[in-house]
Amino acid sequence: MFKVEDKISAMFLESAEQSLPDPIKINAAEHLRSLATTFRIYFPEPDPDDGWIRNLFSCQAIEQIQGLTEEEQDKLVDLSSCGTMKDIFNGEKIAEFWATARKDYKEFGDKAMKKILPFATTYQCEQTFSSNITEIMDAKVKFNVSH
């Protein structure tokens, strides 16, 4: 891929023929590595067995998809053979397609949405937690001021 230190050097002060002190470069590089690790929590590497989610209608071997029962494979073949669903797939964004498909193929819609939007519920939990902490801190400040 690339070395983070090289990108930092290229980004800062090159045109002025100046360079950043090494401790700043090291600190910035460590921070970027930490961000990359954090992003992996929310955006894991794509699973090759989830290709059917991204493009159901060009999926060649449904029977080779890991994690599906035989009944699910049969239903997925039915879904991938449906001309109407193919038209919807070609005309909509992937999340909209799976939301539509979920009406008739709930199990696939649910699986697809969990893969497409893996962070939605985590984000909501974190937002709720953050707002609760803010309320608690505000209450503590008001309590301390009144005493």
Q: Which residue has the higher pLDDT, 141 or 14?
A: 141
Round to whole Å and give the CA distance between 86 and 51.
16
Confirm if 123 and 135 have CB atoms less than 8 A apart: no
Residue written as token pair 């970027």: 32
In tens, the pLDDT along 37-64 reads: 888 887 778 777 777 888 788 766 666 6
How much is the mean pLDDT over the chain?
A: 76
pLDDT of residue 33: 92
In order, the DSSP letters of 29-46 are HHHHHHHHHHHHHHSPPP
Q: Which residue has the higher pLDDT, 118 or 28?
A: 28
Give the separation between CA 56 and CA 51, rounded to whole angstroms. Answer: 7
The answer to whether residues 117 and 94 touch, using CB atoms and an 8 Å cutoff, is: no
Q: Is the pLDDT score of 22 beyond 60?
A: yes
Residue 88 burial class via C-beta count within 10 angstroms: exposed 0-12, middle 13-18, buried 19 and up: middle
pLDDT of residue 45: 80
Tell me how crowded residue 76 is: count the other CB atoms within 10 A of its CB.
20
Q: Residue holding tokens 């950043």?
A: 20
Predicted pLDDT of residue 114: 83
Selected residue with higher pLDDT from 92 and 19: 92
139 φ/ψ angles, rounded to the nearest 5 degrees:
-65, -40
Report which residue type is found at 55. N
Q: Which long-range contacts (CB under 8 A, 24 or more apart) does 6-15 make?
A: 8/32
122-134 mean pLDDT? 60
User: What is the reported pLDDT for 133?
Assistant: 66
